[in-house]
Amino acid sequence: MSVEQIGERLKKRPETIRSYLPYERVIYNLTERSVNADRLQRFKKKWGSYKKKGVQKEEAI
């Protein structure tokens, strides 16, 4: 069963189901990404150009 199917059965969101799953070794290139992987991707999109610009710490604050 997929996480989405389990969520539908339990009437919970897939993110909630994933949060209760036990940790396991990271498998790359899955069709479903973890919540943390989504957060990291958004962070890298938002702040990835931060390093390229060479912004000083004082400017960032």
Q: Does the residue 44 lie in any domain?
A: yes
Tell whether 27 is covered by a domain: no
pLDDT in tens, 23-61: 766 666 667 777 888 888 888 888 776 666 665 556 555
Rg for the chain (alpha carbons), in Å? 17
* Predicted local confidence at residue 40, as pLDDT: 86
Quote the number of domains for the chain.
Answer: 1
Question: CA 33, 37, 41, 42 torsion: positive or negative?
Answer: positive
- Residue 41 belongs to a domain: yes
Residue 5 is assigned to a structural domain of this protein: yes
Q: Is residue 11 part of a domain?
A: yes
Evaluate if residue 20 carries a pLDDT over 90.
no
Domain of residue 1, residue span: 1-22+34-49
Q: What predicted TM-score, i.e. pTM, was given to this entire model?
A: 0.38
21 or 6: which carries more pLDDT confidence? 6
